Amino acid sequence: MPDDSGVDRGSHDHPSYGSKSRDSRMARVGDEPIDLISRVYDALDQGILVVSHDCLISHYNAAYAQLRNISADELLGKPLELLDRRNSIAAYLRTGKLPLSKPVDFEQRRNQETVVPIREGGRLLGSMVLVTPVTALPTDASQRRRAVNAKSPWTALYAVDDIVGDSPAMQYARQLALSAARVDSTVLLLGESGTGKELFAHAIHMASKRAQAPFVPVDCSAISRDLLEAELFGYAPGAFTGASKDGKPGKFELAEGGTVFLDEIGEMPMEMQAKLLRVLQERRIVRVGGSTPIDIDFRLVAATNRHLEDMVQEKTFRHDLLYRLDVVRIDIPALRDRGGDVPMLLEHAWHKKSRELGVLTTFSQSAIDVLSRYAWPGNMRELLNLVERLLVIVPKAVITPEDLPLYVRQGHGDMQVSEAPTFDLKEAVAIAEQQVIDKALRHVQGNRNAAAELVGLSRASFYRKLKEHGLTQGVRDPDDIEVAF
């Protein structure tokens, strides 16, 4: 019998909630027809995905479809793996172990994902995934660049949101970067070439209170030792032959109120290290050929791919400067240590490059699996280069494993310490020890206490092994990080 609204609240002869036709869903939830409930879901800003116990997609609302760039009802009844390559939700449905709420990246945007169980009588029927878009923060690169003083060409280009990755090591590095941004302490970024050290430096500046001031990068390896001092500290009028008659400010002066980023600081000559140490202590510089000290206000971020502790032992890097730099240390993991991030990084890279190149080519899941097992010795720089090359040279809609370079298809395993066989027992034992310790440290993200327990050594014995095998760079205890703040 219909009521005053014209809705028959006594009839149940309608398609169920799982039907693909939204207009015909008239089964009931309480006193309300499900088509009304569905429209309420679609009106939410929060994305909703419903997954059955057998990992099939049962429902998603309009907000979720927009977040994932899919059409309404396109994937209903399809396997969950089409939307969740990380398999975290499928693992929950299989094991019953509820994953933590965490940030995820869709279409180059950051979102917060929460998994909610759907139970009946203690039985797990499926799960609902709530996806909340993270509100645009002032750390967003485009917004912050517009806010920077237009008179200064020295502008950071990337924000924390541009750091893509969901692996534990990358999440930890990203959280450290945000913590470092809240203070003015010196930051030392460590990592192999191509891991994204400069990206982190830009992001730290953008998230800091200095974001509206200049961000001035200096590549210490690209400037001759004769010119480096003038480049950093500037020079006075007539300081040397060919110098400008008005003099010239150095990078530290140009960064007034902002951030100086010294990239490849391990390449800095010893005599310049002493001068940099004095600048860090006194917060003032003297131009080359000048005599008047100039007070400066800056924050320093430094980066290197070298083992500075080893350089100190070799007397090619000052130990007192290392102490000044190593206040907040952030180890940026190599891509081979964050294989689970590769699908996300590939998606990020091919979305960006395909738009730039006007190419619609994508990667098959099997190609992504091969690329996820590759060691990536060139890290992110190599990944971006390979994605662009494949999009340009492969005339297909979908890139398959056969389209990948042979060295990628054959390079599935971990990189070896030495390719040459050894028959010296002592040397073989040392190589095996180094590999086991290195893997243990990677597994626990550099925590030496946990790694020592993992390999069955006391802390003192483990640290001796670290020194023997040159593995002390980047190995810190969690309590060391707390002291930094």
Q: Is a pLDDT exceeding 60 seen at residue 483? A: no
Q: Is a pLDDT exceeding 50 seen at residue 165? A: yes
* C-alpha to C-alpha distances, 257 to 147, 149, 214, 451, 481, nearest whole angstrom: 15, 12, 7, 41, 26
Percent of the chain with pLDDT over 70: 74
pLDDT at 419: 41
pLDDT at 285: 93
pLDDT at 266: 95
8 Å CB contact between 109 and 41:
no
pLDDT at 239: 72
pLDDT at 149: 41
Least confidently predicted of 139-143, 151-155, 437-441:
139-143
pLDDT per residue as tens digits for the range 269-279: 999 999 999 99
The stretch 18-29 carries a mean pLDDT of: 40
- Within 358-402, residue ranges assigned H as helices are 365-373, 379-393
Of 167 and 188, more confident? 188
Q: Which helix (H) or strand (E) holds 88?
A: helix 88-95
pLDDT at 9: 41
* Band of residue 59 on the pLDDT scale cut at 50, 70, 90: confident
pLDDT at 108: 44
pLDDT at 23: 42
pLDDT at 131: 83
Strands 299-304, 259-263: pairing is: parallel
8 Å CB contact between 396 and 318:
no
Of 108 and 317, more confident? 317
pLDDT per residue as tens digits for the range 445-477: 667 888 888 888 888 888 888 777 666 544 444
pLDDT at 312: 95
**Residue carrying structure tokens 């001759």:** 224
pLDDT at 86: 61
Number of residues that this document lists for the chain: 485
Q: Which pTM was predicted?
A: 0.57
* C-alpha to C-alpha distances, 145 to 202, 215, 281, nearest whole angstrom: 11, 11, 30
Residue 282 Cα to chain centre, angstroms = 34
pLDDT at 19: 39
pLDDT at 457: 87
Mean pLDDT of the chain: 78
pLDDT per residue as tens digits for the range 325-356: 999 999 999 998 887 899 999 988 888 888 77
User: How does DSSP assign 281-309, residue by residue?
Assistant: HHSEE--BT--S-EE---EEEEEESS-HH
Phi, psi of 57 (to 5 degrees): -80, 115
pLDDT at 481: 29
The stretch 140-144 carries a mean pLDDT of: 43
pLDDT at 442: 66
8 Å CB contact between 53 and 126:
yes
pLDDT at 187: 97
Of 80 and 444, more confident? 80
pLDDT per residue as tens digits for the range 289-310: 888 899 999 999 999 999 999 9
Three-state DSSP class for 108?
coil
User: Which residues are registered as beta bridge partners of 362?
Assistant: 398
pLDDT per residue as tens digits for the range 174-224: 999 999 999 999 999 999 999 999 999 999 999 999 998 999 999 999 998
User: How does DSSP assign 416-454, residue by residue?
Assistant: PS-SS----HHHHHHHHHHHHHHHHHHHTTT-HHHHHHH
* Band of residue 414 on the pLDDT scale cut at 50, 70, 90: very low
Q: Is a pLDDT exceeding 50 seen at residue 417? A: no
The stretch 141-157 carries a mean pLDDT of: 57
8 Å CB contact between 83 and 48:
no
pLDDT per residue as tens digits for the range 229-248: 999 999 988 777 666 777 88
Q: Is a pLDDT exceeding 90 seen at residue 79? A: no
Cβ-in-10-Å burial (0-12, 13-18, 19+) of 144 comes to buried
* Band of residue 100 on the pLDDT scale cut at 50, 70, 90: low
Instruction: List, in order of start, the domains of the chain with CATH numbers.
Output: 44-133 (3.30.450.20), 141-331 (3.40.50.300), 336-410 (1.10.8.60), 425-484 (1.10.10)
Q: How far apart are CA 144 and CA 138, in angstroms?
A: 6
